[in-house]
Amino acid sequence: MCGVNYPTIGNIPDLRISGYNWLDYDKDLENAIELHALSNTLSLEDMVYTVFARQAGFDESRVRLRTRQVLEGCTRYKEAISGWLAGGLDNTGTVLEIGCGGGMLTAAIAPYSETALGIDISMEWLVVAERYIMEHGGTPCLAAASGEDIPLPANSIGLVASLDVIEHVHDPARYLSEIDRILKPGGRVALSTPNRYSLTAEPHVFVWGVGWIPRRWQKKYVKLLSGKEYNYTCLLSYRDLKRMIRENTLINAMILPGTVPESEISSFPNLRGRLARLYNYIHRWPVIRQLLLVICPFFQITGIKLQA
């Protein structure tokens, strides 16, 4: 044994290793302890609302919007499971979600796997995830950990799912290498991430054109146009993803332009909804789909780990 004692909150161990990260670990742990202490008196909705209300720059309308999105997340991910994630859930055994956040995808995947594990860098969100998974009939198996230092043995996981995470890690190459390390040969991976060169607004700060300018100017550009900080986010292009997967893994990956779920489109304003449905329609054509890899809003990546 390594002889290190790791703190736990409820049944969730804190296995994080200190390092470069967007999160203040001490503050996150303090918030998680407080939320866990209140969890018996709060509803799931109250817990989610509490976490978002603590976020800097979130006004009341945004807090309520994001809270609703989390509460509806399990239903939205079930739509993905019947769609682009369907092939990855066949006979996978143990599933790991990296960056599980509030537990929406882990809750949706649980019925399809022998064991569904979730890790996230935020202990506060894991306290929410524990409740979320339980309320959706699952058994939580969670830990606070980084996707760049996954506390699992090599060749132990049948499916890794990690949605909208790679753009936030400090070292994407190491993150991909860790996914490759823990995957069994023949194991599957499912990733998603926004496209750097999307024609839509950058989804984290809602500013147009961020990815089209040099990275060294992006922070100043976002600050100038929106007043927002743009830290700990680095969007990747199709070529970036293809190269990094090839150089750091044995995964035979397919990168496709993602489609917009109907459950999301139904909440869009009229014009935006029509454009999203048009995009989904032309996405059906193979030739157009290849062209969309340059400018699509986000990527859906699936793959199988090959034998060494």
What is the C-alpha separation between 186 and 97, in angstroms, rounded?
Answer: 17
Q: Classify residue 224: in a domain, yes or no.
A: no
**The pLDDT of residue 29:** 94
Output the CA torsion 88→89→92→97 (10° steps): 80
- Structural domain count of the chain: 1
* Site of tokens 């306290």: 127
Q: What is the pLDDT of residues 215-268, one digit of tens each?
A: 999 999 999 999 999 999 999 999 999 999 999 999 999 999 998 887 778 878
Residue 290 located in a structural domain: no
- What are the tens digits of pLDDT across the range 62-80? 999 999 999 999 988 988 8
Domain assignment of residue 254, yes or no:
yes
Task: Check if the beta carbon of residue 137 is closer than 8 Å to that of residue 23.
Answer: no
pTM of the model: 0.93
Residue 275, helix vs strand vs coil: helix
Domain containing 86 equals: 8-195+236-266+298-305
Residue count of the chain, please give it.
Answer: 308
pLDDT level of residue 91 (50, 70, 90 thresholds): low
- Give pLDDT, residue 272: 85
Query: Is 75 within the bounds of a domain?
Result: yes
Question: Helix or strand or coil: residue 205?
Answer: coil
| Alpha-carbon gap, residue 161 to 165, rounded angstroms | 10
Please report which confidence band the pLDDT of residue 81 belongs to, taking 50, 70 and 90 as the band edges.
confident
| Token pair 């917009």: residue | 260
164 pLDDT band, cuts 50/70/90, is very high
Of 92 and 105, the structure prediction assigns the larger pLDDT to: 105
Domain presence at residue 271: no
Asked whether residue 100 is domain-assigned, the answer is yes
CA distances from 19 to 102, 124, 243 (A): 23, 18, 26
pLDDT digits (tens, 9 = 90+) for 198-217: 999 999 999 999 999 999 99
Residue 240 in domain: yes
The verdict on residue 98 lying in a domain is yes
CATH code, 153: 3.40.50.150
Query: In angstroms, rounded to a whole number, what is the distance separating the alpha carbons of residues 84 and 53?
Result: 33
The predicted model gives 50-56 an average pLDDT of: 93
